[in-house]
Amino acid sequence: MSDVINLLPDSIANQIAAGEVVQRPASVVKELLENSIDAHSSHIRLLVFEGGKNGIQVIDNGIGMSPLDANLCFERHATSKIRQAADLETIVTMGFRGEALASIAAVAEVTLITKRGEDEFGTKISISGSRVIEKSPVACATGANFSVRNIFFNVPARRRFLKSTAVEMRHVVNEFLRVALANPDVEMMLFHQQSTVYKLPSASLQQRIIQLYGKDLAPALLPIDIDSETISIHGFLIDPLRLKKRFSEQFLFVNNRYMRSPYFNKAITSAYERLLPPEVLPSFFLYFTIDPKNIDVNIHPTKTEVKFQNEQIIWEILFAGVRKTLGRSSGLVNNINIQGETTIRVASPPPTTTTSQLRDTTNSKTNVIQGTNPFLTSRERQVLTTSPVQVEEARKEDALLNYTSLRSYSTLPIANSYFLANLDDELRIVDQHRAHARVLYERYMQDHLPTPQTLLVPARLTLIPSQKVGIETFVEKLLALGVDITLDAERNLVLKSHFPTVPPQDPSRFLEKLFQEYSEKGDATLDSVTDAPRRAMAFALAYRYNEPLTAAQREGLFRELLTCSEPMLDPKRRPTMRVFSLADIERLLK
């Protein structure tokens, strides 16, 4: 029997490595920007074409490379950061694996022009699919100029999975923002299709945040500064009560490296508990400084996941620091009681498993016409199942009016955001915003869209640069639904017609909420032409939290909710209500 194990050629090995490192054009942007930061650049320009699918260029004024280094940098595991295994424990630079440039060159056409300050001439190297095409001396400025074209040109299967230009560009902007926030002292510029998206001068962290997100954010920035033997944490929390519009950015950095950490996010969310209105997420820009020996940044190829020693201690320090900072805020001080406290109460870090004692109702897809709705009495099922018409015809002919008039429900408001309803010896706590969004969404899915009314004074929504990426798609989808909306000369949103609501809703707030709901879905908003804007419209027009409802409004909402195909879930698949049976109530009391 012959031998079956072969050593892979470098070109194939690089393509395999590229599958981990280079997932989309934004992955290339991340690696090249981090290389520029490691090269001590004070000025970085990023040029992007077709969302990075056709071209990415990063130009910096860093230390540059010698001719030999320029050749070696495209080899696998070629790195200037690591010389021995012990160096892995003291990593403070961004790129250190030595895989990024080799992986990029394996799936794209790459040209590097670079020169050190002490050299008279620089070096130009062109590579296509790991194959060197050109290598020559060149006159150029000190620093590095990387040009990457035709990503995945030799991996057509990967190329086909790239998204639209707008979607890919949003990912590019996200990577740019992470590097810009981690390095506010570096002047950075971003161009797309030769149009300027960002032009950021060197600044302090607070100034950089305002550069990126606008002056409206300035009064809502709450500085946080924690210094302990284990870790130092600084940055800013966001006071949502001082903002005119919703803001949901969350950034965590460790030793100036962006990281994702649901564990530490939970500490922050727990500290904000009962301080935020429902549906509002805590927002923050937090920077951890810790001994590199106490973290491992080498657990994932993209280096966005970091393992910490003493993570439970850090969780408690973070929770206490955030809670104390929020307590000092005049905007939130009425919602948090820290007076008389000599120490900050620290919540326990989340346990490994949690079990809800509430009834699992998330799979309750129902069909009221077929009598499978579990919330109906036997008499109501009989009335509905004897109807010969189909569901859609029943809705169009208001056949359910008989059902909704069969009984009345007593309701009790809670904080003008929720209400209690009693049905068949079961207690239901209903979220009025989510419940109304479900009702409106199902109406809109039946094409029962209200007729927009022309506004005497158009409503405007000023966007920050990152929000303008792909904004044309948002406008086109609303136009298809009959909404008169345009972009002004600076590509901000201008709403000229508005859906009528009871009570009347401010058009500016409607536009802001509509755009927020739409943009939060990211790639999922492209799943169909109409579903995303209808979903967003349902939330934008739904009863708001802290909005008083009359008893008739609450009871009418509850009756109509029970006729929905999925009464237990809002359009975002979150609970509209919680159900407590008599047994649940007895168990809680006993």
Structure tokens at 423: 């049905």
Distances (CA, A) of 114 to 123, 347, 493: 6, 52, 42
Is the pLDDT confidence value at 46 over 50?
yes
Is the pLDDT confidence value at 233 over 90?
yes
Neighbours of 201 (CB within 10 A): 13
**47 bridge partner residues:** 57, 191
Interval 360-398: pLDDT, tens? 333 333 333 333 344 444 433 443 344 333 534 444 344
Distances (CA, A) of 491 to 169, 216, 459: 16, 19, 14
Is the pLDDT confidence value at 82 over 80?
no
Interval 138-148: pLDDT, tens? 999 999 999 99
Half-sphere exposure of 156 (CA within 13 A, CB side): 0
User: 3-state DSSP call for residue 557?
Assistant: helix
CA 408 to chain centroid: 42
Q: Is the dihedral of CA 334, 338, 344, 347 positive or negative?
A: negative
Neighbours of 27 (CB within 10 A): 23
pLDDT at residue 420, as a whole number:
94
Q: Could you tell me which residues come within 8 angstroms of residue 388 by beta carbon, excluding any fewer than 6 positions away? A: none
**Per-residue b/e over 371-393, b at no fewer than 16 CB within 10 Å?**
bebebbeeebbebbeebeeebee
**189 bridge partner residues:** 45, 199
- In one-letter notation, the amino acid at residue 134 is E
- The whole-angstrom separation of Cα 116 and Cα 499 is 61
Interval 430-468: pLDDT, tens? 999 999 999 999 988 887 777 888 998 999 999 988 888
Task: Say if CB 541 and CB 510 are below 8 A apart.
Answer: yes
Please report, in angstroms and rounded to a whole number, the separation of the first and last CA atoms in the chain: 72
Q: Could you tell me the strand order of the sheet in which 418-423 lies? A: 411-414, 418-423, 426-431, 577-580
- In one-letter notation, the amino acid at residue 455 is L
pLDDT at residue 109, as a whole number:
95
Q: What is the DSSP letter of 499?
A: -
Interval 499-511: pLDDT, tens? 776 566 788 888 8
Structure tokens at 299: 């657990």
CA 79 to chain centroid: 32
* Global pTM value: 0.71
The counts of H helices and E strands in the chain are 18, 22
